[in-house]
Amino acid sequence: MKQRFWNSLTLCLALLAALPAPSWAAGYTQTRYPIVLVHGLFGFDSVGPVDYFYGIASALRSGGADVYVTSVSAANSTEVRGEQLLLQVRQILAATGAAKVNLVGHSHGGPTSRYVASVRPDLVASVTSVGGVNKGSRVADVLIGAVPDVTYSVANAVSGLISFLSGSPALPQNARAAATSLSTAGTLAFNSRHPQGVPTSACGEGDYQVNGVHYFSWSGAQPYTNVLDASDPVLALTALAFNGAKNDGLVSSCSSHLGRVIRDDYALNHLDEVNQLIGISNLFETNPVTIYRQQANRLQGLGL
């Protein structure tokens, strides 16, 4: 009888040990390599008390992750932003002694991260694209054909102001180049030069691993998510450009696919994906911060 008890207890303990750690457990987000967050169009690291990745870096650090938030041109081509990011990746590696980084890019930050992984795969362990413009955005297509030149000048000024307010060094701004990079034609050209992880089918998955770099993606698919969020009506309007295709207000779900698609239908919009506006998102969906923590734990499980 006593022997059966100990055998059963041993079995229970073994089963518990095999279960994944709960999201609140110590070390849950502790990855082997630093996590580097990369903002999208008109993005920043922080302006005053507001972080672009609102509450995300601190939540990842609380679970043991070493996290860095980069700052590239608020508006410029993918290649220009990519070279800026590459410089910061080198600086992070020099400061930490790490061999590689895990890049997590939102929106235009997705292709920006892909550029670095393409030209220097030896420095990158993984790329996670969040609402990434990996096959173009219909919103960018519409704007290129409808926006007068003066609007680009205003956008450049706004981008420069964003960089100034965030305390970033003076970075070149080129809103027209950004729009071209984010268009369907622009991303098609970019993908021909940097195809790693991009699905070859219209709405499928891409290669999970290329040149030693692991590729992941996830995105939202509900433009309007919270009546208290002032940005939601704008995203509900821009969502009309997709003619009913599933989208987050700025990027279609299929366009967001890269490598292993974790999910492309969270009830979140493009800004919810980075926990904006100041944490106001869909109360009936997984909290965006939790999704980032889950991805960090996924990377941890792969030894990244």
User: For residues 272 and 281, is the Cβ–Cβ distance under 8 A?
Assistant: yes
Are residues 76 and 61 in contact, defined by beta-carbon separation less than 8 angstroms? no
Tell me the C-alpha to C-alpha distance, in Å, between residue 166 and each of 36, 50, 67, 159: 17, 10, 18, 11
pLDDT the model gives residue 143 = 84
What single-letter DSSP state applies at residue 98? Answer: -
pLDDT at 224: 97
pTM of the predicted model as reported, rounded to 2 decimal places: 0.90
pLDDT per position as a tens digit, 272-291: 999 999 999 999 999 999 99
- Do 223 and 239 meet the contact criterion of CB atoms below 8 Å apart? yes
- Interatomic CA distance for residues 19 and 6, integer angstroms: 20
Task: Please tell me the predicted confidence (pLDDT) of residue 10.
Answer: 44
Predicted pLDDT at 82: 98
Query: In this predicted structure, what is the pLDDT of residue 44?
Result: 81
Return the active site residues.
Answer: 107, 248, 270
* Spans of the chain, pLDDT less than 50: 1-3, 5-19, 150
- Listed in sequence order, the DSSP H helices in 23-148 are 56-62, 78-96, 109-119, 138-146
Helix (H, G, I), strand (E, B) or coil at 252: strand
Identify the pLDDT of residue 49: 79
Give the contacts of 49 (CB within 8 A, at least 6 positions apart).
none
Q: List 216's β-bridge partners, or say none.
A: 128, 260
Question: Which pLDDT score, from 0 to 100, does residue 162 have?
Answer: 65
The amino acid at 251: V
